[in-house]
Amino acid sequence: METAGTASGAAQRVADVLRERIARGTLPPGTRLSEESLGSGLGVSRNTLREAFRLLADGRLVVHELNRGVFVRVLGPGDVIDIYTTRRALETAGVRAAPNAPPERFGALRQAVSAAGAAAESGDWSTVGTADLHFHQALGGLAGSPRIDEYLTRLMAELRLAFLAMPSPRDLHEPFLRRNRLIAALLESGETDRAEAELERYLGDAQQMILDIMMKADT
């Protein structure tokens, strides 16, 4: 007999599967999520699937449209501005905390920079994007706050929806590879103020790039 706990666990596992498919672009923004096909393919009940949809909606990855169904969310300019406003607050908190951060937190920064560089050399720009998100999660992680870590994880999953809507992953990510390395180097050398100023410019430029591409797509 299925208990509330096992049902909840099943819904979480299904949500994790769908979240990964969204992140990979298998379920791109605007895709309708069919209860019938997904339930059959994943071997779960409609109740379990609906609970998984609820979890994804809580993470702002899907939306329910009355009489139409559940869709992978399509971000608009207002969403992007809100995401970047929140990123500035959380990532800046991490940068300011860097002088007191433990060494393993800096290790996460170095690992993300290295992973992005290796992926760029092989032309895998989707993986570069993933490494970039990990880099910025690691920046916020310098604050040592579990709440910041949790919120940035959710925020970066939402940001990937914007990445997936961009026509060229390379054009989106390549300009920022060097800037990630620079921020990491400034923090490693204790130049916190310079790192914060660079992060502010970085996020402003990234936000504007995404907004410009969105506006061109609408014309």
- CATH code 1.10.10.10 region(s) in the chain: 4-72
Q: Give the model confidence (pLDDT) of 25-61 as tens digits.
A: 889 999 999 989 998 899 999 999 999 999 999 999 9
Q: Give the model confidence (pLDDT) of 80-103 as tens digits.
A: 999 999 999 999 999 999 999 998
Buried b (16+ CB within 10 A) or exposed e, 2-16: eeeeeeeebbeebbe
The CATH classification number of 4-72 equals 1.10.10.10
Q: What is the pLDDT of residue 108?
A: 93
Mean pLDDT value of segment 194-217: 94
Q: Is the per-residue pLDDT at 79 higher than 90?
A: yes
The CATH classification number of 77-218 equals 1.20.120.530
Of 3-12, 127-136, 154-163, 164-173, the least confident: 3-12
Whole-prediction pTM: 0.86
Q: How far apart are CA 198 and CA 27, in angstroms?
A: 34
Cβ distance 197 to 91 under 8 Å? Answer: no
Q: What is the pLDDT of residue 57?
A: 95
